[in-house]
């Protein structure tokens, strides 16, 4: 069974595309299990970056010369790749930003400032990353709006009945993580969006951990905004995407002001470009956007459904193996989850476990994962968090489990 899947997906061949994976740390083969934090890059992404700077580095949109036109074409082609990858209706619904954090702040500072008033309610879930809490808290402080939080079960699943109770005609925004980075839970976004829309609320999705693991279609999710980061989906850091429905992007004010987002400027008055340019002030991360396009080509070639299927099996295997280690408490056991394998040992701190794993060449994150409310819900300050990507193998899971057993025995 395992062999069959490995053959189908051919992870050994896939790993050849990732130069960084082939190195030793403390004399041991590197095992990269910190994918929720950031992912490694295939050679095609690295080559795309190098090629840009070696062959056609130029600013975009303003140039009449050959390299400028080439850079602009590649930048806009990347936007179209993103559009198709997430099933958006039009490329003008795709705004390049620095990452998920910037995308969510953009929504809070534009849509939020225009529409949120004192007494309005913003609903979040317990599973949010700080980047989908703090921008809303800042907005609430500015406007007098109120934050409401959807609780989760002991498995880390959204309590839909409680969510239904929180929704009302006062709800203006529902901001949800697609996939929890602390626990791996996949939220039922389509259903939750439909429920929010019944009250006329707008739905903002933090897709940082959704896009790397699931086939995402924003039109069938029907969310109003969807934000994600290039570096978590095998692309460069410094680039990310905010998707917004066309009519909303046209309606809301711009965020940052500057070059590229204007039609005309006088000292008396400025008129703005249409989306997406309206939201892309200044010189963008051109090379990074183009290389994000290369990451999307890479993922599309592997097939998001194949990736999800392989990771699902690997996650089931890893969860079952970890559960057998004496004294290990798994945190986040949702039925629908990706390969985020949070756990604690009652008597060894997560940081200590992380450091001991590092000495064996195994990279994991240890701490609160920028999701302190999630940790508080489970009565811990942090966890050890191995997190999987499609280039991880069953053998790597076996090594992790073996080292954890040794750590447990000698502490």
Q: Supply the Cα-derived Rg of the chain in whole angstroms.
A: 22
Gap between the Cα atoms of 207 and 223, Å rounded: 11
| CB of 243 closer than 8 Å to CB of 60 | no
- Strand stretches in 126-238, DSSP E: 146-150, 171-177, 202-206, 225-229
Q: Which residues contact 368 (CB under 8 A, 6 or more apart)?
A: 182, 375, 381, 382
**Nearer CB in complex with ligand PMP: 186/208:** 208
- 92: tokens are 């003008």
**Nearer CB in complex with ligand PMP: 56/129:** 129
Active site residue 370: yes
Per DSSP, the three-state class of 344 is: strand
Residue 141's CB is within 10 A of a number of other CB atoms, namely 9
Q: Which residues contact 141 (CB under 8 A, 6 or more apart)?
A: none
Q: Which residues bind ligand PMP (CB under 6 A)?
A: 36, 99-101, 129, 131, 177, 181, 206, 208-209, 229, 370
Minimum gap (Å) between residue 172 Cβ and ligand PMP: 21
Peptide bond just before 23 cis, omega within 30 deg = no
**Nearer CB in complex with ligand PMP: 56/279:** 279
Gap between the Cα atoms of 139 and 124, Å rounded: 13
**Nearer CB in complex with ligand PMP: 208/366:** 208
**Nearer CB in complex with ligand PMP: 325/384:** 384
Q: How far is CA 292 from CA 42, 148, 207, 228, 341, in A?
A: 11, 35, 15, 12, 27
Gap between the Cα atoms of 332 and 365, Å rounded: 15
Q: How far is CA 145 from CA 72, 116, 119, 140, in A?
A: 41, 7, 5, 4
**Nearer CB in complex with ligand PMP: 92/181:** 181
Minimum gap (Å) between residue 210 Cβ and ligand PMP: 8
Q: Which listed residue (281, 370, 371, 384) is catalytic?
A: 370
Minimum gap (Å) between residue 73 Cβ and ligand PMP: 27
Per DSSP, the three-state class of 150 is: strand
Minimum gap (Å) between residue 138 Cβ and ligand PMP: 16
Minimum gap (Å) between residue 38 Cβ and ligand PMP: 8
Minimum gap (Å) between residue 228 Cβ and ligand PMP: 8
- Name the residues annotated as catalytic: 370
């Amino acid at each position: 069974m395992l062999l069959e899947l490995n053959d189908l997906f051919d992870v050994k061949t896939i790993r050849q595309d990732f130069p960084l994976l082939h190195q030793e740390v403390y004399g041991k083969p590197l095992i990269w299990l910190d994918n929720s934090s950031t992912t490694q890059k295939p050679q095609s992404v690295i080559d795309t970056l190098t090629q840009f700077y070696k062959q056609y580095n130029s600013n975009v949109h303003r140039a009449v010369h050959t390299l400028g036109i080439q850079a602009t074409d590649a930048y806009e082609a990347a936007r179209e790749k993103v559009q198709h990858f997430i099933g958006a209706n039009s490329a003008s619904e795709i705004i390049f930003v620095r990452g998920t954090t910037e995308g969510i702040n953009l929504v809070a500072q534009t849509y939020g400032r225009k529409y949120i008033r004192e007494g309005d309610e913003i609903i979040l879930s317990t599973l949010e990353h700080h980047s989908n809490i703090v921008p809303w808290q800042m907005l609430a402080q500015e406007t007098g709006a109120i934050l409401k939080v959807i609780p989760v079960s002991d498995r880390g699943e959204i309590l839909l009945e409680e969510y239904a109770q929180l929704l009302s005609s006062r709800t203006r925004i529902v901001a949800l993580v697609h996939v929890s980075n602390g626990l791996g839970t996949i939220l039922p976004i389509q259903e939750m969006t439909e429920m929010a829309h019944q009250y006329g609320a707008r739905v903002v999705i933090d897709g940082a951990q959704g896009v790397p693991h699931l086939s995402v279609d924003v039109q069938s999710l029907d969310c109003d905004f969807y934000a994600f980061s290039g570096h978590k989906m095998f692309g460069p850091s410094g680039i990310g995407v905010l998707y917004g429905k066309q009519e909303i992007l046209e309606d809301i004010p711009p965020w940052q002001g500057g070059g590229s987002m204007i039609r005309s400027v006088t000292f008396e008055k400025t008129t703005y470009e249409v989306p997406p340019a309206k939201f892309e002030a200044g010189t963008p991360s051109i090379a990074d956007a183009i290389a994000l396009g290369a990451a999307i080509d890479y993922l599309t070639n592997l097939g998001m459904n194949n990736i999800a299927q392989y990771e699902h099996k690997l996650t089931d295997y890893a969860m079952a193996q970890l559960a057998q280690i004496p004294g290990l408490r798994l945190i986040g056991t949702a039925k629908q989850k990706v390969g985020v394998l949070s756990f604690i040992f009652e008597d060894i701190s997560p940081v200590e476990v992380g450091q001991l794993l590092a000495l064996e060449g195994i990279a994991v994150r240890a701490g609160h994962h920028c999701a302190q409310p999630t940790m508080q819900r489970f009565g811990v300050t942090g966890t050890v968090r191995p997190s999987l990507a499609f280039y991880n193998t069953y053998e790597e899971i076996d090594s992790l489990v073996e080292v954890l057993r040794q750590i447990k025995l000698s502490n």
